[in-house]
Structure 1
Amino acid sequence: MNKPWYVYLVRAANGSLYCGISDNPARRFLAHQKGQGARYFSTSPAVALVYVEAWPDKTKALQQERLVKKLRKSAKEALVASWSGLSPCDA
């Protein structure tokens, strides 16, 4: 059985949203806060993990990440607003 992968959104200090995938979004967010793992946060630090969705494997997560990255900011903000804040990685 494959382990789940996650598509996540992180809010940067400038209000922008960064989309990525990880098998552990909480750990990945901590790395982003330390300035590791993505040059994106070198100009505006990561401040909050604002959206997480689970996918059955890395391939599916990558496909979803591509779709989310193509969304307008308003659609990404709608995803953020819809998120309960709970994910399987919190359990």
Structure 2
Amino acid sequence: MIKEYFFYVLYTADGYFYGGYSDNVYRRFLTHQAGKGAKFTRVKSRHPIRLIYFESFDNQHDALHAEAMFKKLSRVKKEAYLQSQGVDVNIWVK
């Protein structure tokens, strides 16, 4: 059985896109929701957060690479990337 790794994007209540990676995207999302995830998502003004996108990879390297590339993008390019993946960012962006 091949282990899956995920690149995921959260949308925060204060309007940020947060990219991360995990081997269990739903568990990691619940960790973020509980305020115990990354320092960035522990800020109360960022809650509630929503899981708006995730992508599966068959190895950790590719998932980490996707996360790193996403984090380097400007806000406009993050929106364009998400739209190219079928995410309607207009429902999230204020």
1:53 aligns with 2:83: no
Q: What are the ranges of 5 or more consecutive residues in structure 1 without an aligned counterpart?
A: 85-91
Q: Describe how 1:75-90 pairs up with structure 2 within 5 A.
A: 75-81=77-83, 82-83=85-86
TM-score, normalising length: structure 2: 0.78
- Structure-2 residue corresponding to 1:88: none
Q: Normalising to structure 1: TM-score of the pair?
A: 0.80
- Contact 1:32–1:46 (8 Å) recurs in 2: no
The letter of the residue matching 1:27 is R
Asked if structure 2 preserves the Cα contact closer than 8 Å seen for 1:50 and 1:80, the reply is: no
Instruction: Give the Cα–Cα distance (whole angstroms) in 1 for the partners of residues 73 and 18 of structure 2.
Output: 12
User: What per-residue deviation string (whole Å, max 9, x for no partner) do you get for residues 31-72 of structure 1?
Assistant: 101101211122222421011011111111111111111111
Identity score, percent: 37
List structure 1 segments (4+ residues) > 4 angstroms apart after TM superposition. none
1:76 CA drift (Å): 1.6
Counterpart residue number, 1:8: 8
Partner SS state of residue 65, structure 1? helix
**Count of aligned pairs between the two proteins:** 84
> Helix, strand or coil: the match of 2:37?
coil
For residue 79 of structure 1, report the CA deviation from its aligned partner: 3.3
Q: Is the 8 A contact 1:10 1:50 kept in 2?
A: yes
CA distance in 1, matches of 2:60, 2:40: 22
